Amino acid sequence: MVCDSNETDLSIGIPAVMLPQDAGAILEDSLIRNASVAVQLYSPDRPLVDTAEVFLWLMAVGTILCSSYWSAWSARDADIEHEKLLKDTPDDALNRESAAASGIVDINITSAILFVVIASGFLILLYKLMSYWFVELLVVLFCIGGVEGLQTCLVTLLSWWFKRSWESFVKVPFFGAVPYLTLAITPFCMVFAVLWAVYRHKHFAWIGQDILGIALMVTVLQIVRVPNLKVGTVLLGCAFLYDIFWVFVSKSLFHESVMIAVARGDWSGDDGVPMLLKIPRLFDPWGGYSVIGFGDILLPGLLVAFSLRYDWAAKKNLRAGYFLWAMVAYGFGLFVTYVALNLMDGHGQPALLYIVPFTLGTLLALGRKRGELHNLWHKGQPEIICRHIKLAQ
């Protein structure tokens, strides 16, 4: 670096050090008070495999596993109820879908595409309006969803032991008849969510966030369903492109990765948006959290849950069905994601880039090999069920 053309070029090196926010605040406070400050720098090696990533993997796989079985049980119970209706009043067969899918939302191709478009718009909104108060609004919305999810999960679990609780109701203004069990569980869920919101900056707050997040995702995966492999392919294909664009391509348009900036909670003075599962890196000297977004669990989970419903309808065992292999594919895809994350020195990776090809590719390949791809793609149910319904009608 020189000032005039006739000066000798000097080699000047200015070291730069990045500190954690809390360490920087302590250092700044000491300098303001003119205190004596001694700084010793070291660069410890990170562990090859952090336990936080292992537990996140187990949480993601466990969430999809539980959600899939709940979805399959609900579908089987609905089919049993429908069979009873067919025996008593065969004319009601025309109303099968409305009777069996009460409270269930089936995704179609249009809604699958719109979902990704709306998600992109919401991501830009988060990126542009990210601030402390905007994160507070997201926390409120997350708490509302978490209360609903936690209440649904707890009521379903407890109803196995307190079956008669569904027979007793109490009238509540604006809500009508509400089971006593639901009325008893709701205050606990609300208090749990409020306590998490108040203490979410504490070092232990990740536990409450993960509990609310898992309950919310399990409930969503039980309510929202893909009816066939065609819709699942469109949904996951769009999500695949969405993840790649907002992690990698958005850098050329916004000068940084929009997805990573939103996940970190830049300019918000917060730990990021709450729509994440997170676990602290206990054995990493650099600290921080390992995280996974809800979308990386929910979207593949819709396809995995569909595979189990199909297996149960076709009376397939685990090895001959699709669910086991879909679960293995998801687990392996998520494992490859963490491998890529470590190879890229911790730089954010789009998980669906690795998960979608494994899960979707596995179902497509198995369906083609077994000659069932047509039913999977168009009908979403085995041929024997289709013939039964046709005869019943």
| Inside any domain, residue 102 | yes
Whole-number pLDDT of residue 131: 75
Please report which confidence band the pLDDT of residue 219 belongs to, taking 50, 70 and 90 as the band edges. very high
Q: Which of 52-61, 121-130, 258-267, 374-383 has the highest mean pLDDT?
A: 52-61
Which pLDDT score is estimated for 187?
A: 92
Pairwise CA distance, residues 389 & 356, whole Å: 33
Mean pLDDT of all residues in 127-147: 87
Mean of pLDDT values over 213-242? 94
pLDDT at position 17 is 75
Among 313, 292, 302, 334, smallest CA distance to 379 is for: 313
The pLDDT, as a whole number, for residue 30 is: 85
- Tell me, yes or no, whether 150 lies in a domain: no
Mean per-residue pLDDT, 242-271:
79
Distance CA 221, CA 63 (A): 9
Count: domains in the chain:
1
Residue 363 lies in a domain: yes
Residue 140 included in any domain = no
> Per-residue confidence at 345, pLDDT binned at 50, 70, 90?
low
> How high is the pLDDT of residue 85?
64
pLDDT at 147 over 70: yes
Would you say residue 155 lies in a domain?
no
pTM here is 0.82
Joined tokens for residue 47: 């562990």
Catalytic residues: 243, 296
Query: Tens digits of per-residue pLDDT, 305-341?
Result: 999 999 998 988 888 899 999 999 999 999 999 888 8
Strand 289-293 to strand 276-280: parallel, antiparallel, or no bridges (unpaired)? antiparallel
Q: Please report the pLDDT score of residue 100 as a whole number.
A: 45
User: Domain of 324?
Assistant: 52-131+202-392
Model pLDDT, residue 225: 93
Residue 41 belongs to some domain of the structure: no
What is the pLDDT, as a whole number, of residue 269? Answer: 57
Is residue 174 one of the residues assigned to a domain? no
- Residue whose entry in the numeric block shows the structure tokens 């979308």: 295
pLDDT tens per residue across span 1-44: 556 666 666 677 777 777 777 777 888 888 888 888 777 766 66
Cβ partners under 8 Å of residue 51, min gap 6: 282, 283
**76-124 per-position pLDDT tens digit:** 877 777 666 666 555 444 444 444 445 788 899 999 999 889 999 988 8
Mean pLDDT of the chain: 83
- Of 123-127, 345-349, 372-376, the range with the lowest mean pLDDT is 345-349
Higher pLDDT, 373 or 166: 373
Q: How far is CA 214 from the centre of its chain?
A: 8
Q: What is the pLDDT of residue 267?
A: 60
Looking at residue 80, its pLDDT comes to 74
Strands 289-293 and 169-172: unpaired
| Whole-number pLDDT of residue 323 | 96
List pLDDT tens digits, range 149-166: 999 999 888 887 776 665
Mean of pLDDT values over 375-392: 65
Average pLDDT over residues 243-266: 83
Percentage of the chain surpassing pLDDT 70? Answer: 82
What mean pLDDT comes out for the span 363-367?
Answer: 95
Within a domain: 148: no
